[in-house]
Structure 1
Amino acid sequence: MRLALQHPWILFVMLTLVAAEMTWRRRSALGYDGRAAAASLGVALGQTVFRPLTGILLGMILFALADVAPLHFPAEDWRTWVAGFFAVEFAYYWFHRCSHTVRWMWATHAVHHSSPEFVLPSAIRLGWTEFFSLGWVFFAALVLVGFPPLVVVTLLGVNLIYQFPLHTEAVGRLGPLEWLFNTPSHHRAHHGSEPEFLDCNFGGVLIVWDRMFGTFRAEPVNRRLRYGLVHELRSRNPVRIALHEWGRMLGDMRRAKGAGAKLKVALGRP
């Protein structure tokens, strides 16, 4: 979202796609939940407060790590960007997978999966607490390996912008592209809340890591999926949407007896 605000043409394209999807859904039998879309916008507006603070903290950390990294790949070399693309994609896969399988990280990521309707505005329904969930550690590791912070941050931004148009039911399967790239079909399966579609299709731009590591699931052919959380959240309050899973997790930790049991709740599966 921050990248879109910095480049108005990206924001214009996003808004145009949202309007086109809204028109398509309202003319079809799917309908459109305007209140849920407004709630997603409210969550995104909250990010305009928290993201700059997170960005400052992470920038300080990444540049500090770059200073002590044993290797330094030159940002002006195209090979650094090509290698960086695959490195960021690989790191994103494991970050995303852990965000579904480690409850401390899920407390932030659950926000993104909270919309029961799979539409483009749900792409900007992202948690406010990403710094505390520690998902950034996966990308900080790339800086320690030798990739410049500029390369890592830019490629991660491209990764996230690419995923925006994946959040729609308006686009069907895309033939041979499905084998290599993450597509709306693959991402619909990722957002499915039915048991057989939990924890699958974690790729950003590429779907190859899911195929390699056994987490790929194909979208069902003859029916629509059910979206949202397993424990359904019907609230349209952006603050509740952003913090609900932290409340659930901290409540379970409070009720757990002993430090070991509390840690098991935090690091266990959602």
Structure 2
Amino acid sequence: MPEFPNIILFAIPFFILAMLVELFFTIKLNLKTYEPKDAFSSISMGIGNVLLGFLSKAIVLASFFYIYEHFRLATIPLAWWSFVLLFFADDISYYWFHRISHECRLFWASHVVHHSSQHYNLSTALRQTWSGGFYSFIFWLWLPLIGFHPGMIMLQMSISLLYQFWIHTETIHKMPKWFEAVMNTPSHHRVHHGSNPLYLDRNHAGILIIWDKLFGTFQPELEDEKVIYGLVKNINTYNPVKIAFIEWVNMFKDAFTGKKSLKDRVLYLTKPPGWKHDGTGKISDELREEWLTSKNLNHPKD
């Protein structure tokens, strides 16, 4: 098995060039999607992710190799068809990782970083977690188990991450209909970054949008429902350290302070963001249902 290059590092000059091109067009089109402090915060998060990635990727690769060497059920050879299979296997793994990262607060604590910007541009794609890389890989452990080589898996994970860079933009309205039907696009992913009740926890796709359509989490971007970027409750800081860890602090405060049962303390780690043991909190499904009910009351059907 050949050693694959770290394509993310090679892509960094492309990221910089693409952001400069997007900035030019946003100014020309008067979109006002860039805010300097916010963009620099996102870039800082990206740099931190790359630096910590040298350690987290070593842990991930070691875990993949341990399973591959000791427990694999078969050996999938290096061939064109194995990369096709891996493409779909990796993409559905990403979908479930991404979906659970919105539905379980323990995973949300690291993923919230990516949603913390109230702006949407290519720099937002670089706003990556400093902690998630150390445990989110568990959603991919089944791949070395069934026989994919760890080097192949890491390469495909990087390809998926690279694909998702270009969809963080408002300069592209819609792609051709056939493309929108199958692939993740800027329009689909804008929905994912929306804090509007209708858009919460929708469109978890990596490369293919088909998984959202298959598992009931797809929501198209509506012309009459402009996306409001950010969180239901924004953190309002440009400090990279606070962005990286504020939700961890809040989660542990909820779980381990005050008078609560052991079950409730555990549930603060496993329930969706917004859940409260005393019933005062609301999760995304409840916020969406309230919004839809209000919409129907205000605009009853003929």
TM (normalized to structure 2)? 0.84
Could you tell me which residue of structure 2 aligns to residue 143 of structure 1? Answer: 144
**What SS does the corresponding residue of 2:238 show, helix, strand or coil?**
coil
Which residue identity is paired with 2:254?
A: D
Contact kept in structure 1, 2:8 and 2:158, CA below 8 Å: no
Of structures 1 and 2, the larger Rg is shown by 2
Could you tell me which residue of structure 1 aligns to residue 250 of structure 2? Answer: 248
Which residue identity is paired with 2:110?
A: T
Distance 2:113 2:203 in 1: 18
Q: How many residues align?
A: 265
Distance 1:153 1:4 in 2: 11
Could you tell me which residue of structure 2 aligns to residue 96 of structure 1? Answer: 98
Matched, 1:14 2:15: yes
Percentage of pairs with the same residue: 34
Counterparts of 1:104-123 in structure 2 under 5 Å? 104-123=106-125
Matched, 1:262 2:270: no
Distance 2:62 2:13 in 1: 31
**What SS does the corresponding residue of 2:30 show, helix, strand or coil?**
coil
Deviation at 1:48, TM superposition (A): 3.1
Could you tell me which residue of structure 1 aligns to residue 199 of structure 2? Answer: 197
Counterparts of 1:1-270 in structure 2 under 5 Å? 3-5=7-9, 7=10, 10-31=11-32, 32-132=34-134, 134-174=135-175, 175-255=177-257, 257-270=260-273
Q: Deviations over 1:83-120 (max 9, x none)?
A: 11110011111000000000000000000000100010
Contact kept in structure 2, 1:75 and 1:81, CA below 8 Å: no
TM (normalized to structure 1)? 0.94
Gaps of 5+ in 1: none
Alpha carbons of 1:138 and 1:265: their partners in 2 closer, same or farther (altered >3 Å)? same
Deviation at 1:121, TM superposition (A): 0.5
The CA RMSD measured in Å over matched residues stands at 1.4
Between 49-58 and 255-264, report the one with greater CA deviation.
Answer: 255-264
Distance 2:128 2:59 in 1: 18
Which residue identity is paired with 2:167?
A: L
Distance 1:194 1:59 in 2: 38
Distance 1:224 1:23 in 2: 23
Distance 2:173 2:31 in 1: 15
Deviation at 1:30, TM superposition (A): 2.5
**4+ residue segments displaced more than 4 Å:** none
Deviation at 1:223, TM superposition (A): 4.9
Deviation at 1:131, TM superposition (A): 4.1
Which residue identity is paired with 1:90?
A: I
Deviation at 1:56, TM superposition (A): 1.2
**What SS does the corresponding residue of 1:236 show, helix, strand or coil?**
coil
Contact kept in structure 1, 2:53 and 2:133, CA below 8 Å: no
Gaps of 5+ in 2: 1-5, 274-302
